[in-house]
Amino acid sequence: MSDSPDMLRYDKMVEHALRGVVKRAIENVIEEGELPGDHHFYITFLTEYPGVKIPEYLKERYPGEMTIVLQYQFFDLYVDDEKMQVKLSFNNIPELLTIPLSAISIFADPSVNFALQFQPVTDDLHDSLLDALDEIDGGEDDNTPDDSDKKSKKKSTGKKKKDGNSGDSGQVISLDSFRKKD
């Protein structure tokens, strides 16, 4: 699937809008000078993503993904349309982290049971998901998997299941799991 002018890419529109929520939350903290009340952010990002700038020892310690917590001790918080920056201490050594907003895979504020999970939306990924779904939904023949195989294939595509779990590509967190139960 390509970005042809006759196709609206709702997936990219939604992704951009939700990343705007992350940006706005960080802007609010910058404007206020601190996180209000019990708010705190868990931000998980892809450490190998282009534009991520973290010390080499952190890349080695956290290959693939890293989660940071913004709650009490963070400094020099900055955000623009492309990236965020924050200074955090690791073993009492202050380090400036630069994280493109598009590198963020999970943003959560557990104090209000709010979380967003992002999947990278690229044409290659989108095409492979469509191919996998076509294969799953294919005609009934001797090679058609039974229902249990269909579930495992859907799971491996990274599609959300009703219980909020996903396949090997990462954990999908349902917003319902963060809502307070009465």
Closest CA to 27 of 72, 81, 66: 81
Task: Report pLDDT digits (tens) over 77-123.
Answer: 999 999 999 999 888 889 999 999 999 999 999 889 999 898 764 44
- Which option is the CATH number for 10-117: 3.40.50.2300, 2.30.30.220, 3.30.540.10, 3.60.15.10? 2.30.30.220
Domain boundaries, the chain: 10-117, 123-178
Copy the structure tokens of residue 17.
């809008």
Closest CA to 43 of 14, 74, 1, 15: 74
The C-alpha atoms of residue 104 and residue 21 are separated, in whole angstroms, by 12
Q: Are 30 and 78 in contact (CB under 8 A)?
A: yes
Task: Report pLDDT digits (tens) over 44-80.
Answer: 999 999 999 999 999 999 988 999 998 888 899 999 9
